[in-house]
Amino acid sequence: MIGSAMIGPATTGSATTTRRPTIGVFDSGVGGLTVLKALLEVIPAADYLYFGDTARLPYGSKSVETVARYATQASQFLEHCGAQLLVIACNTATALALDKITRACSVPVVGVIEPGAERASTASQKRKVVVIGTEATISSHAYRKALEARGLQAKEKACPLLVPLVEEGWIEHPVTEQVARIYLDEAFQDSFKSSDVLVLGCTHYPLLKPLLRRVAPAHLTIVDSAESTAGVVGELLRVTPVSTSTEDERRRLPHAIEDVRHVNLEE
């Protein structure tokens, strides 16, 4: 099975210079680029390796075992390429496999759900929140648990068609707008009509943010986990800087590599 890996230029350091941390970012497709963008804004002085598993997406309709296997393979691949810290920029992989990834890798691992829940808690005055995500993320109730632990009520709504529409590039397509409108109309019902926060529980969804603002209730604050996750990573690097070993240096290529290449994780 072939996955797409977008990998930035690799750099090498010397004993007399400050080495830049290498951060690996993983998602099932292009959605994690929203997290990468936020990371670049918060931590510009880092090297980044991005892996998008476009050959095996979507993750949201797959079993827990399958998602865990795919996500662990991708994370170990990034670590092997020299990543010193991993960001799981996929809500489904975070919800279903964060513990397995953390055990399988020897570098720090940061998911997107806890930072997103914390941002929602800060933003909500009414303490009622609606979460939209993939079927797998919603079925895991990972967001509901994280939000309830912070004293919020949460209603979760699976939106399985949104990721394929984003991957197709239908960001402003009338079909996408109609689908999103139906999902949100179903989500904001009964006591959750008064919810004041919409959590985008999938890293693909921020690409639809302008469209979602048009079809969502006007009073809403829309929260995605990209910025808050970037903040967590920045703080982690400040408190516990990553170290670069001789082995790390050997893993890195001494020259720039192609922006995009395909790799086979099943070999």
CA distances from 256 to 20, 253, 259 (A): 15, 7, 9
Alpha-carbon dihedral 90, 179, 154, 135, rounded to 10 degrees: -50
What are 24's strand-pairing partners?
A: 49, 86
Query: Would you call 159 a catalytic residue per the annotation?
Result: no
Classify residue 46 as left (phi > 0), alpha (psi -120 to 50) or beta.
beta
Exactly one of 81, 105, 159, 202 is catalytic; which is it? 202
Coil, helix or strand for 207?
helix
Residue of 155, 98, 94, 165 whose CA lies nearest to 124: 155
- How remote is the C-alpha of 21 from its chain's centroid? 19
Alpha-helical runs (H) found in the chain: 33-42, 64-80, 91-104, 113-123, 135-140, 142-148, 162-167, 174-187, 209-215, 225-239, 246-251
Q: How many residues make up the chain in this entry?
A: 267
Exactly one of 81, 90, 105, 159 is catalytic; which is it? 90
Query: Would you call 81 a catalytic residue per the annotation?
Result: no
| Contact status, residue 228 vs residue 118, Cβ threshold 8 Å | yes
Residue of 249, 230, 247, 242 whose CA lies nearest to 89: 230
Residues involved in catalysis: 90, 202
